[in-house]
Structure 1
Amino acid sequence: MKQKKTDIPSFTPYQKFIIVLLAILQFTIILDFIIISPLGDVLMKTLDMTTTQFGLAVSAYAFSAGGSGLLAAGFADKFDRKKLLIFFYSGFIIGTIFCALATGYWTLLAARIVTGLFGGVIGSVSLAIVTDLFVIEQRGRVMGFIQMAFATSQILGIPLGLYCADKWGWHSSFLLIAILGMLVLVGIIIKMHPVDKHLGLQEDKNAFQHLWHTVSNKKYQVGFAAIALLSVGGFMLQPFGSAFLVNNIGIAQEDLKMVYFFTGLSVLFIMPLVGKLSDKVSKVRLFAAGSFIAIVTIMFYTNLGPTPLWEVVIINMIMFMGVMSRMIPATTLNTGIPEMKDRGAYMAITSSLQQIAGGIAAVFAGFIVHQETKTSPLEHYDILGYIIAVVTICSIFLVSRVDKLVNTKTKSESAPLAQDAVMEH
């Protein structure tokens, strides 16, 4: 007898609460990282940093996040995910406060390392929670809402952070993030239920055995490589974004808020649409379409000279719509690869490799880009665009392989269920 296609389940009130909570949490994590980019021009001038030093300050967060993620991967499936989230988010808030208290390049560098040690694990724990609490038919919409944190950080976070920086100094931007983080932490402690169903499925008693079991899985390795490449473009372009806008394109420092606001607005508009499409159409085709838009606009953008503000806003809007249209289908596909017993470790390793790859990209970009004086145009920024285009093409190939692995896994899991349904009838 032909099996009826079940409807996509709607969200429960508790699931809706978790989506909102994780979205706000991601907002603080993303804002903490990307706020350093619009503050980059101010930081390099205030703290007398070279482009290479600034690249290292950005990559310090990424490398420490990647390292801590790898160390935590073996333990990620050994504890209640709520407890892990509380522990690492508390450390992230403390690190952000240290960033606000930094008085020079070296203290800022140390503070970014501390923040990365804790912040780098949070994304993987959040993804594991999403995978545990939502079926794969819901995850595209969930990721669409959670990824809106990026857009919200652009629309509200960065303009507000820049306003605080202009009014009370750049330190106040980090204090703002820390205060919001404390409110989110209270919500997690009081309202979130334990997430511990995976604990009954553990086979590897030793944490390092569990880590090795996950790393050595060849199917998992395809997902690791695909997701690691996704962060390369952002880590290359974003650290020097404000300096490029001010010194090359000729945008006034006070107009940066408008660029980031409208860029975030476009992403806020596209995210729910991409999330819904991701649950209905081919995720790999959606990823390829977003990649094509990203490649064209990034190569055009990195070759710009002095340009009117309205043109820069439009180009940025299209560029980030393409970039973010890649993230949802790729991340959703990636959640379908690991078995439940490996999800925490898999997500931690994925996040770590993504951060490490991004850190290498930021350091690499810092050596490629050169600025003669603190107010002169950035040189060789266009080279970054060409490198990103090549990496993006490679990522399309890897994501298509992930898509095949997930489809095979889904069919193998649904076959016994279909057989049981036939036998019942």
Structure 2
Amino acid sequence: MAPYASDDSTTAAEGDDLRAGRRKAARYVVPVAVVGVAAATIGLVPAIADSGDPDLPEITAQQLIEKIAQSDVQQMSGTFKITTDLGLPDLGGLESSLASGAMGSGPGSGDGSSADPSAKLTELASGTHTLRVAADGPDRQKLSLLENAAEYSLIHNGKDVWGYDSKSNEVFHGTADEAKGGQDKEDVPATPKDFAEEALKAADDTTAVTVDGTAQVAGRDAYRLLIKPKQSGTTVGAITVAVDAETGMPLKFTLTPSSGGAAVVDAGFTQVSFAKPAASTFDFTPPKGAKVTEESKLDGAPSEHGSAKSEDELRKELDKEFGGLKSGDGHGKASEGGPEVIGEGWNSVAVFDTGGEGVPSGGEVGGDLGGFLDSLGDKVSGKFGSGTVFKTRLINALITDDGKVYVGAVDKDALVKAANSGK
């Protein structure tokens, strides 16, 4: 089926309606996210080959966005795969050590549990993974990460949140905050739908949003929503969202970089059902002999790393630092208490001042970490002075020798330009 016509020629009034639809779509999340940091890494999912080109009624981008906004899926189950390719070098297990050390958890850390989602689900930040999900309203969700001869499950059932690592036979137990009505769980990307909403938040006058034909995902007919930056200098090439034609729920999310090649993030269901899952799906009892770690003990008691912060506190700090980076208006604060933002739209660059010197070179940092820094870094200079650009296929950062950090989904030249303009 041929791509549908672009909607770039909408009138001012239609444009207002389109933006309103995007904002509404960005506020709604199907209740699949389980809890906090766990949800933050669940949505990084791989390309599922389209198995058809269904003949569906034509629809405009605005109508499709409204369809996402009106989607009201409360019960579902399915399987999806996760592939994330940021182009990072093989760190030989260094990334796991760094993550465990930063979170104060993981095997052998002395405080924490390998079943803690904030530690376990960092594994989803690279490679390919298969997961099963189930949801029955806002109070019952389950996610299972399938591994070689092992399985990790994260279950939210009423007041209880359980994490279970079958490999280590460890259990993590926390409680859901009913007073927040589940809203916090909806703030963090978890599924193709969550990623679609984040992309729609970014859609403004610097973005072209069109309907790019149809597809079939997990055996279901879907429309393809295409989101493309109009600006040059961004590392984002295009975002494609496959939207279920019947329910309006995004089934697949693909982000391709401007540099070409494989997708950076590919998220798609291989099987999905909208029937009500059995109540027993969300039951959990710690297996005999399992080590059980209570979240309250991790949050409430100081450790060798200092006073532990709750997942909610950590996420609020991240929201404060990084919230609204896409909404910069040239210069100034993106949000209350947030970093300075240079540029606008997809070319927004956040600026942090560490108040110290730049990152040491590999010669000053030994072992794997020094080699890792050297492998990512490119020396640059300009009106701002000199520094090092650290690159992935999506997010790049310039760390100046005087301790300022410029970070965004932009290329090296855009970072240098931002640093020069900030002087």
TM-score under structure 1 normalisation? 0.30
Kindly indicate which of the two structures has a greater share of residues assigned to strand.
2
- Structure having greater relative contact order (Cα 8 Å, sep ≥ 6): 1
TM-score by length of 2: 0.30
